[in-house]
Structure 1
Amino acid sequence: MDDYVEYVTARLPALHRLAYVLSGDAHRADDLVQQTITTLYVKWAKVRRAEHLDRYVRSMLVNTFIDERRLAWSRVRLFAAPPERISPEDDRDERTAVRQALARVPRRQQAVLVLRFFYDLPVAEVAEILGVAEGTVKSQTAHGLAALRRLLGEQTVAVLTEER
């Protein structure tokens, strides 16, 4: 199990970043990562031989994020709204608006948009991670961008997709 500990220790920051971008909440990100590495531990003997281990683990995390809405406890909230965060950066308002809009997009579309635009992954890799056809990734991207356009306005989405 030393190789498991070594792998998880090395990949923990990247997993947490992905979970945070998907969920928009540091505590939810911690929970997603914890659930993912726990599942990884249980399957480690088999999984460690995977050809693309990082891609496999990233898939586990994204699927955990997508599937968590089906669980009843995911609807339990301690607060009516998350506490406001203060960031010293100038683009805080824009990032907050994008994060809030992204949270209102269906989970699979969120995952596709995050993997395509925040992680700059090609359509084929996103399809493999999500276990869907490339056409599904393309349509989910189009639907997700259309939803963001409705929520944010055309200019903001255009800037986001051009920065890619």
Structure 2
Amino acid sequence: MGKVVDDGASAEFQAFFEAYYVELARLAHLLTGDADGADDLAADALMALWHRWERVRGADHPAAYARGVVANLARSRVRGAVRERRRIALFWAPLGAGDGHATDGPDVPAVVDVREALRRLPFRKRACVVLRHAFDLSERDTALVLGVSLGTVKSQTSRGAAELQRLLGP
């Protein structure tokens, strides 16, 4: 069993939870594309924060720390889903089928939902675009949340936005 948190810290965490839960769930939804799983992911992140609350509450930017936890959990979830889709595709692929991938070509419907377009971006590009544009974080704060360099945020955001523009059209 972990260390018992005092009443003051408990009330502080309660206030943090109430202030940031909706934002963290929205971030999870945008990063994973899974509306149903977003609440669970945000709850998992907040549970992890609760277990480390003494460290989190002393952090310079507890909200950024929380966003980082959500981003890491989302990354793990997305990677797991991709691995599962690959296993299913390999298992169910007809014998003699080519190795072409349905999503590789430019065969994109005329109107593509933004969420679908976001789902098509690799995780890091998606995370940078979402944090920069949907959450209005600075490049520096985005780098802090994702644990990457400022240059990575700049390049991934630029490339992600360009891919979105290509997917969504003019």
Distance 1:116 1:103, change over 3 A: same
Match of 1:107 in 2: 123
CA distance in 2, matches of 1:11, 1:149: 30
Distance 1:68 1:100, change over 3 A: same
Q: TM-score, normalised by structure 1?
A: 0.73
Q: Which amino acid aligns with 1:129?
A: V
Structure 1 unpaired stretches of 5+: 77-93, 156-164
Match of 2:53 in 1: 44
Which runs of structure 1 show a deviation greater than 6 angstroms over 4 or more consecutive aligned residues? none
SS at match of 2:159: helix
Residue 20 of structure 1 deviates from its aligned partner by 2.2
Q: How many residues align?
A: 137
Residue 75 of structure 1 deviates from its aligned partner by 3.3
**Residue pair 2:139, 2:150 contacting (<8 A) in 1 also:** yes
1:123 equivalenced with 2:132 (yes/no) = no
**Residue pair 1:36, 1:64 contacting (<8 A) in 2 also:** yes
Q: TM-score, normalised by structure 2?
A: 0.71
Across the aligned residues of Structure 1 and Structure 2, the Cα RMSD in angstroms comes to 2.3
Residue 118 of structure 1 deviates from its aligned partner by 0.9
Q: Deviations over 1:52-76 (max 9, x none)?
A: 1111111111122123233369837
Q: Deviations over 1:31-53 (max 9, x none)?
A: 21021011111111221111211
1:20 equivalenced with 2:29 (yes/no) = yes
Q: Deviations over 1:59-111 (max 9, x none)?
A: 111122123233369837xxxxxxxxxxxxxxxxx7x6111111011011111
SS at match of 2:38: helix
CA distance in 2, matches of 1:32, 1:41: 14
Q: Which amino acid aligns with 2:118?
A: L
Match of 2:15 in 1: 6
Q: Which of 1 and 2 has higher RCO (CA within 8 Å, sep 6+)?
A: 2
Report which stretch shifted further, 22-31 or 128-137.
Answer: 22-31
Match of 2:62 in 1: 53
Q: Which amino acid aligns with 1:70?
A: R
Structure 2 unpaired stretches of 5+: 1-9, 86-110
**Residue pair 2:32, 2:77 contacting (<8 A) in 1 also:** no
Q: Deviations over 1:5-50 (max 9, x none)?
A: 2321232122222222223332121121021011111111221111
Match of 1:65 in 2: 74
% identical aligned pairs: 40
CA distance in 1, matches of 2:14, 2:152: 35
| Max Rg structure | 2
1:133 equivalenced with 2:149 (yes/no) = yes
